[in-house]
Amino acid sequence: MTTAISSNEKIFIDSHYGVVVHRDFKPLYADDTYAAYYGYTSSEEVLALPSLLQLISQPERTKALATYDGVMSGRLKPGVRSYKNIDNAGNELIVLTVDHIVEWQGEPAMQITIIDLSSQIETQRQLQASEERYRELIDGSIQGIVVHRNLTPLFCNRAYALMHGFENEQAMIEHGSILPFIEQPFHQQAFEESAALINGTAETIKAEVKGFKADGSTIWLSLLSRPVIWNGEQAVQVTAMDITEQHVLREKLEHQANYDGLTNLLNRRATSEILAQQFEVAKVEKQALSCVMIDLDNFKHINDQYGHQVGDEILCLFAKVSLQNLREGDILGRWGGEEFILSLPGQDQLQAAAVANRLCQALSQAAVKTKYGELFFSASMGVATVCPEITSLDQLVSKADRALYQAKHNGKNCVSVLHDTEDEP
């Protein structure tokens, strides 16, 4: 796996650690902490070095070269290692490193994170503590990381705890399970992915899931999961990024693309796509499907006499009243102007006519308030139903449109039905 880093992006890592990025040991980036470890006053002095090999003791250079080639080629996994290094004054340092492949200016490079263990090498406890801390640095310290076994957390970093609304890592761990922070529809997915990583059928799994914070508010996470060994046993490490803002923005853009901005009904394009799918299902599975074309009566006169603001209020009231009188699976969309289309899956001709008549009556009882008093309005509707003679959605819509024309001809504020044998009203 590689992580993209732009050349002008600051790498946010705890100040106790030094970071350098190189390609074939030619330094591409170094922070000031890294420079200070080797006796330099600034990162620019490190970047001026012809090769980082001069900072590695002579006996260790062959090992460093082999490790670089192995990790970059994929033969070795990125990991935690120790080296003897030399500062610019010739003093020997013992450092712990974490190597990690990143993308730098469009090409793979190696990121090395180091800590100076010269004063700590005596104690195994300090070494182990450092290795544990480095487990959270593999995918970057600004990301949330949790290690779990069967969704029971064994470890999490501060970023993961904070993104779930906990004050610290321990509070998250003590909760006992990460499952309550995943929305129920994603539970089965979580169990299956965990099992796949543990039993070796998957090496890494990427997913986006909806979850919850400690206070119950919603959070969307982008997850990268992989198997790890934790205290000698198989476990799963999950790297999490909070994408709630991106997800909300994406939903907003998708809504804008599919819904009418005034009535909040589906727009013509989105309605056409759904109708096409419903039509194909109805024809293949021989299911009933009816279509109702709806037009608000005398709408131009309303706009001319009362103004477009009142006209807009009527359009919105039409949408509200209609949705209150339809089933959850019925599809109502704005076809254009004051014209709407209603799809009634599973409804035959008689049932669709009954729905249209009920809706027509409900609309005739609705009114908007104007400075002249309450303004009532009405709608005319044409009903058509899928039959053997109809072989395309265009034919079904056209038949409903002809039925609508007949309703207008019959005096408006009514429903007209074209029977299967009728081609023209």
What pLDDT, on the 0 to 100 scale, is given for residue 120? 53
In whole angstroms, give the CA distance from residue 115 to residue 120. Answer: 10
Question: How does residue 167 score in pLDDT terms, banded at 50, 70 and 90?
Answer: confident
- Could you tell me if residue 138 is inside a domain? no
- Could you tell me if residue 78 is inside a domain? yes
- Could you tell me if residue 135 is inside a domain? no
One domain for residues 272 and 392: yes
One domain for residues 70 and 181: no
The per-residue pLDDT for range 172-185, each reduced to its tens digit, is: 888 889 999 999 88
- Could you tell me if residue 423 is inside a domain? no
Nearest to 18 by CA among 5, 42, 6, 35: 35
8 Å CB contact between 188 and 237: no
Domain ends where: 130, 159, 191? 130
What's the predicted TM-score (pTM) here? Answer: 0.53
- From the list 136, 338, 339, 424, the catalytic residue is 338
Q: What percent of the chain has pLDDT over 90?
A: 55
Identify the burial level of 285 via C-beta atoms within 10 angstroms of its C-beta, where 0-12 means exposed, 13-18 middle and 19 or more buried: exposed
The strand pair at 144-149 and 233-242 is best described as: antiparallel
Domain ends where: 185, 217, 246? 246
8 Å CB contact between 263 and 334: yes
- Could you tell me if residue 383 is inside a domain? yes
- CA 149 to chain CA centroid, nearest Å: 25
What pLDDT, on the 0 to 100 scale, is given for residue 107? 92
One domain for residues 276 and 405: yes
Q: Which residues constitute the domain of residue 33?
A: 3-130
One domain for residues 270 and 395: yes
- Could you tell me if residue 254 is inside a domain? no
Q: What's the whole-number mean pLDDT along residues 134-147?
A: 62
One domain for residues 271 and 408: yes
What pLDDT, on the 0 to 100 scale, is given for residue 381? 97
Query: Active site includes 193?
Result: no
Domain ends where: 97, 130, 163? 130
- Could you tell me if residue 425 is inside a domain? no
One domain for residues 121 and 153: no
Identify the burial level of 329 via C-beta atoms within 10 angstroms of its C-beta, where 0-12 means exposed, 13-18 middle and 19 or more buried: exposed
The per-residue pLDDT for range 337-352, each reduced to its tens digit, is: 999 999 999 999 999 9
The per-residue pLDDT for range 387-411, each reduced to its tens digit, is: 988 899 999 999 999 999 999 999 9
Between CA 101 and CA 65, with CA 230 as vertex, the angle to 5 degrees is 30
